[in-house]
């Protein structure tokens, strides 16, 4: 059996994929990702107190979004957080 000379691509070249690239260039994504780093005020972040504070702050952010309070400046009052279902965990 012959070994492949190239690695398979999830986006092989072709008309459909070229069109998707054009769409991606012309229309901005409505979803933006933010990455955060957590740091404990003292020591280890994997302590009960730090994780409770993180959970409390997460729920506070979600509550503010539910009340449509995350807008700033001239942005309209609306929900800004993206909602999805995490299938592997079975949770929204």
Give the separation between CA 41 and CA 35, rounded to whole angstroms: 19
Give the separation between CA 34 and CA 36, rounded to whole angstroms: 7
The pLDDT tens digits of the residues spanning 7-66 come to 777 766 777 778 888 888 898 887 888 888 888 888 899 999 999 999 999 999 999 999
Query: 50 CB contacts (<8 Å, ≥6 apart)?
Result: 38, 40, 44
pTM more than 0.85 = no
Angle formed at CA 85 by CA 81 and CA 86, multiple of 5 degrees: 110
């Amino acid at each position: 059996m012959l070994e492949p000379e190239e690695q398979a691509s999830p986006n092989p070249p072709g008309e459909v994929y070229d069109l998707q690239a054009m769409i991606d260039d012309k229309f901005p994504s409505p979803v933006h990702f933010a990455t955060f780093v957590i740091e404990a005020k003292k020591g280890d972040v994997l302590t009960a107190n730090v994780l409770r504070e993180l959970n409390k702050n997460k729920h506070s952010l979600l509550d503010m979004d539910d009340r449509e309070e995350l807008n700033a400046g001239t942005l309209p009052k609306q929900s800004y957080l993206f909602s999805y279902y995490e299938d592997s965990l079975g949770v929204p």
